[in-house]
Structure 1
């Protein structure tokens, strides 16, 4: 009999959804293609209740939120919407049939699961994976709304305590990178934390020598312009304005540098105000279009510190693009040899970013060499979604199902 797994992705799933939702879309595609022997249901949020089968044993179920955060998300300029209710009856009525509950956030779906598990004499195996640093994002968004720093700090601390209670309620906690492991084990307990990496689709994300000419023709880019790409949600949580200020300084120094932005969010207006015709806003892009944009640009500048791993970095490297990252960010774990297959910014302010981007803009040969090294790292070290599913997820789900069976036998 197949183990029935419920993954609770309590975010709205649509074309503009962020990396958290896209991650589970890729895992679902891999499970539908490979049939790893589980029955997989991924629960997401949307405007109406629907079921989308990907195969006989893989499906998305969309549920309407009880207390959707859509108005707040729009106020913040495109942050992913979730459900702020303390309980979701529609989800609760469905959860009992699953052997393993895999939580991925800390809002309505997760609260429902924890509350329901406390009522059940034989609760299911419970797993949680950390996809977003919710306390850091909470503080960033409140600062964006001009909330006083003390209030933002208190709200972030509250979000941290809520997350920690969730970690302790689960049998297994999955983190994206090794550096997170120690801190999470201190909360969840030793022996309960393991890694859940991310994959990259090398068929979709790859070098494309014709991409630059097509993008230049569409947006009238100059042949000599250095195209600095930022990809992701365009807001304070990703520190896009740090990249923008660095580009502004380089343009003021006379360099022919342009910021190309793939994504949408509240900072789109400030970006235009700061850079004028020195920025091109592409908006939210589908995976195919995004792959071509990576291949067309000269480097990726990604100042975000809030990522648990940052899949845009792996996607850019797979397209042969040099990546520029903050030294303190977990995104640097994609690099095999910092300085050779990507740049780590040690002075993490606009001055430091301008200096590192300038070094690449002024040296096309170094840029090409670093792009080749990034591509080599991608092909040798970065796993496919199918491999991550098989190596990181399936053993954890099977262990959790075994725990449930063991609890049932004891009772």
Structure 2
């Protein structure tokens, strides 16, 4: 039996407004929201001067388990997530082995049940030859189908047009896609291997994985989705060139085609390769500075629907290799909310918009059951933020198993002080309570 929790004097950031109120949590749910609530026998958290957000829902992470646990585990990365105010995550299928069968997918859920401090869901992976397995996926308890359209990841590159059309035609589930055109990337890579050989450097990454590769693949995904009226969600949009594919003319709940932007594409630009090199090598690539502004504008006007991380850790040793050998991916989940709050301090985005894009929108987009909002009767997934207490990124504070962050040595002007996961106070003032694990996410479909 979970103890009741009463949060008092909170500035609640929710559904486009900020109000001061108390929140009573009972049996894992938000039981009451009122101006003043009597404590009774509840554990009291005084939130005076702090802001209460719905917990962040990250719809794209790579936690590396099973098979790549030298980089990360569901346990280690979910702890980092919770410390960063992330209460729920959706994890990708390119683990080892790839989650391409219902049995392998179930194995990941068993690991999540035993070890995840945050709420969890795992995507079912698609390949050129597993459509029958894909179509067995239960839409009520699995977040979606993941297709790598032009990203060679083991057996997960789907480049067979018949298979691709079949999944879009037959599946009623949300289909999430990584969109980069493989032929374009290979041709560019061959050209620069001849030019630079082993002296290649990270700054050529956005030239190899360029705007053309992104737009060609994203356009194809949209075209196929429209042909079959499929539910398409394009992950990590990274270019201004792709933004015309998306609309802000209808409510999110009615959209059949949605898109996310990731924190690193909003934060970094091609000029940062000079100092960070392979540490910010990721797919799709971080590109020229004008894309960064265009992506933020599209986020603010609702052409882009969700903010995510694409958290993808690799070891320091792996990242320290030459450009061609260093893997793509950046660990980001612990500092994603502080990054967006930094944009707030810079006057670029409101607190209400941060809550919308990091919590409300993922819940709507994925049709999550009683998550993503601070509402009576909803699960108590909550994050308490102090806008006047800074977060310093050091080796000692980084919780990822890989042990590094591109933000090491930097300070953010806000701090996450408490994170409540399904009514359990999982994190408070740098201390964890792992006695209760997160829950499997469910979807109203």
Q: Please report the TM-score for the alignment, with normalisation by the length of structure 1.
A: 0.35
Give 1 or 2: higher strand fraction: 2
Compare relative contact order (CA 8 Å, sep 6+) and give the higher one, 1 or 2.
2
Q: Please report the TM-score for the alignment, with normalisation by the length of structure 2.
A: 0.33
